Structure 1
Amino acid sequence: MSDNASVSVVVVDDHPAILAGVEAWYAASRRPITVVAAGGSVREAWTDPGSTADVVVLDLQLGESGTAFGDLRRLVDAGRQVVVYTMRDDEKTALSCLDLGAATFLAKSEGREHLVEATLAAADERPYMAPAMAGALGTNVRPDRPQLSTREENVLIEWFQSESKELVAQRLGISVRTVNTYLDRVRIKYANVGRPARTKASLVARAIQDGLVDVDDL
C-alpha cells in the first residue's frame, strides 16, 4: 500500500468511549484513516462496509463471550489484517494472538501514537511492536532459544527491516529463493523447540524474546 494511501478500519470494542476515542485519534492521523464500521460485535467485520476494510481492530474481551481467540482465528483465516487492542498486556496472551496470525498486539495503555502506527503498519503488512510489549517479551533471553546461524540471523533481521523479500535479496546479494530458504530454516528451528512462528509478527516477537533484535532495530 502506498505511504499516502487512505486506510479503512473496523473497530470492534464494546465500550462506547473507546470507540469514540479511537475514531478521534484516527481522524487526526497524518495519513487518512477512516473508521467504516464500529461496534461491540465482531459481526461488524463481516458485513458491509466492514467486510472490505483494510484493518480490523479487535478487543479480546467482548461482553460475556470470553476471550475472542476464535474470532481472531476466523478473521486471520479469511485473510484479514487484525490489530488486537486489549487491556491485557501479558506475554502469554500476546504470543497466543501473534501465533494465531494477528498483525499486531497492542495494549490499550500504549495510547494514541502506537494505535495509529500499529494500524498503518498492519495496512502495509509490516510488523509493529509497541515498546511496552517489546520490553515484556524481551525481559529475559529464553532458555529454549533455537541455535540460528549468523546468516540466518542476518536474513531474519534484514527481513524485519524491509518491505519485501525482494529488497532483502538485493541488500544481501542473494536470490529471493535463498531468502525464503533461510526464513524456512528459522521457522523450522523455532517449531522444533516448541515455539512455532508462522507469521512475520510472531517471528518478530520470538526474536525480541531471544534478544536477537530490539525495538530500535525495527
Structure 2
Amino acid sequence: MAGNCVAEAVSAVVIDDHPAIRAGVAAWFAAADPPITVLATGATVKEALLAPGDAAQVVVLDLQLSAERTECYGELRRLADSGRGVVVYTMREDEGIALNCLELGALTFLTKAEGEQHLVAATHAAARHRPYVPPALAGAMAANSRRNRPHLSLREEEVLVKWFQSESKDLVADQLGIAVSTVNTYLDRVRLKYAAVGRQAPTKVALVMRAIQDGLIAVDEF
C-alpha cells in the first residue's frame, strides 16, 4: 500500500517550446497507471518552475528551447543541482550529447521517437532518482566499443555492479560484508579511473552508461 502511495504522488513539469508536445506529454501522464500529475508546463525553465511547478519531483526537459536551437546545458545543470530528477526528452539522437546530459546530472535521456511508454517509465524512475535506459540509448551504448576502457579490479567491478542493482550504498555494504566507507572508496577509485581516460562519470547514471558501454553490465540486469 505504501509503495502505491509513493507511485501515485509522482509530479512533473514539462518544458518544451512546442505547445503540441507539452499537451501530448500531459495527456500521456494523465492516462498513465499510476498517473503522473503535471504541475506546470512552459516554453522556458523560468516559466515552468514558477509556483506550483517548483514542487515537482521530475522535470521533462527539451534540450533545444531557444530560437538559436542550441542545447540548454546550463539550464539542465541548474535543474539537476536543485535536486530535481531531470528527464531529457529531445529530437537529438547523438550519443555524445546523451552522455554529456548524463554527466551534467540528467537521470535519463530519451529521443522523442521513443514515445509514451518509455517517457512514462522514465518519469516514474526519475521520481525515485533511479536510472532508466531506453532502447535507443541501450543500443548505442552496447554497440560502442571504446579503446580507452579503464582497467578495473574484480572487486571494483563487483562493488560497481552491486551499487547499480541496489537502492543504497548501505545495502551494498551489507551484501558484501564491508563498510559503507569502503564502498565509497571503491566507487571513488572507479570514477578516478574513468576520469583518467577522459570519460568522466560524476553521477550514478553517467557511470551506469559507461558500464553498459564497456560490457560490465547489461540493461536487463537492473
The CA distance in 1 between the partners of 2:172 and 2:221, in whole Å, is: 15
Verify: 1:29 aligned to 2:32, yes or no.
yes
- Render the CA deviation track for 1:101-146: whole Å, top value 9, x for unaligned: 1111111111111111111111101111112111112213210000
Kindly report which structure 2 residues correspond to 1:1-218, keeping only aligned pairs within 5 A, or say none: 3-4=3-4, 5=6, 6-65=9-68, 66-218=70-222
Q: Structure 1: which amino acid aligns with 2:155?
A: R
The answer to whether the 8 A contact 2:95-2:140 is kept is yes
- Render the CA deviation track for 1:89-108: whole Å, top value 9, x for unaligned: 21010011011111111111
Give the CA RMSD over aligned residues. Answer: 1.3
Q: Structure 1: which amino acid aligns with 2:126?
A: A
The CA distance in 1 between the partners of 2:167 and 2:111, in whole Å, is: 25
TM-score by length of 2: 0.93
The CA distance in 1 between the partners of 2:139 and 2:169, in whole Å, is: 27
1:200 CA displacement = 0.4
Q: Structure 1: which amino acid aligns with 2:173?
A: A
TM-score by length of 1: 0.95
Gaps of 5+ in 1: none
Gaps of 5+ in 2: none
3-state SS of the aligned residue for 1:117? helix
1:79 CA displacement = 2.3
Q: Give the % identical residues.
A: 64
The answer to whether the 8 A contact 1:81-1:123 is kept is yes
The CA distance in 2 between the partners of 1:178 and 1:83, in whole Å, is: 31
Q: Which runs of 4+ in 1 moved over 3 A?
A: none
3-state SS of the aligned residue for 2:64? coil
